[in-house]
Amino acid sequence: MVFLGKVSGCISDSSKPVILHKLIVPASGFKDTLGFDRSVVFENTSVNSIKQLWYFGDSTTDTSKNPIHTYANDKSYLVALAVFGQGGCNDSLSQSVTVTKLTKPSGIETGIKPGSLIVKPNPFTNEISVSFYNISSPLMHIEITDVAGRMVRDMGLKQIINGKNEFIFSLDELKPGTYLLRMNDGGRQFTRKMIKE
C-alpha cells in the first residue's frame, strides 16, 4: 500500500494498492565468425531479449536470431544489433566487422563430406539424431523449417569438430508433418527432409 499524503496542497488519508513490476532489461551482445567467400556467421549472445534487428552496415537488415550474411566487398562494416525486451525496453550494440574473401584451399573440400549427413530415425516421433562428417567448418547453424520455409525451431550455432559429429534433438513440440532440417556452415547449406509421425 502506498499512502498518498499532500497532493496539490490538499491532504488525503486515502490509500490505494500499487503493483510494482520488476523490469527485465535486455542487454545486447554478439560474436562474428568469418566464413568462406565473404560470409559472416553472427551469433546473438544477448540476454533477456524477445526479438532482434540486425543492421549489417551494407544497407541490409535481418530479424533472424543467428543470421549468416554474405557481403559484396572486402572492407570493414559497422554492424549493429538492436534487441527488444518486454515492457518496451531495448538495447543496442555496434561493432566493426572486417570482411575479407577467404577462399577454400585448392583441392580441399570444406563443410560436410558428401553423403554423410544422416537423420534418424526418419520418420520420427519424439527425437532425432543428426550425424555428419565435418571436414573443416568450426561452426554450424541448425534450424528446422516447415515445407513452406517458415522456421519452426532454431537450434542455433553449434560448435563442431573435424571428423564425425552427432547431435540429438528432442522435438516433442512439433506436430505430425513434413519438415526440413537445414544446416549452414556460412558458405553452404545442407538440407534433409524429415517426417514426424
The domain segmentation of the chain, as residue ranges, is 30-99, 118-196
Amino acid letter for position 161 = I
| Concatenated DSSP letters of 40-94 | EEEEE--BS-SEEEEE-SSS-EE--SS-EEE-SSSEEEEEEEEEE-GGG-EEEEE
CATH number given to 118-196: 2.60.40.1930
Residue with the larger pLDDT of the pair 33 and 145: 145
Residue 151: how many CB atoms within 10 A of its CB?
12
Class assignment of domain 30-99?
A: mainly beta
Please report the pLDDT score of residue 164 as a whole number: 79
Residues 6+ apart with CB under 8 A from 41: 32, 33, 35, 66, 68, 139, 141, 157, 186
Please report the pLDDT score of residue 182 as a whole number: 86
Please report the pLDDT score of residue 23 as a whole number: 74
188/192 Cα distance (integer angstroms) = 14
C-alpha cell read off for 31 = 560474436
Query: Which of 114-123, 157-166, 168-177 ranks highest by mean pLDDT?
Result: 168-177
> 95-126 pLDDT, tens per residue?
999 888 765 544 434 455 555 678 888 888 88
174/162 Cα distance (integer angstroms) = 31
188/151 Cα distance (integer angstroms) = 18
Please report the pLDDT score of residue 58 as a whole number: 95
Assess contact for 110 and 39: CB atoms under 8 A: no
Please, what's the b/e burial string for 43-57 (b: 16 or more CB within 10 A of its CB; e: otherwise)? Answer: bbebeebeebebbbb
Residues 10-36: what's their mean pLDDT? 73
3-state secondary structure of 40: strand
- Answer yes or no: same fold for 30-99 and 118-196: yes
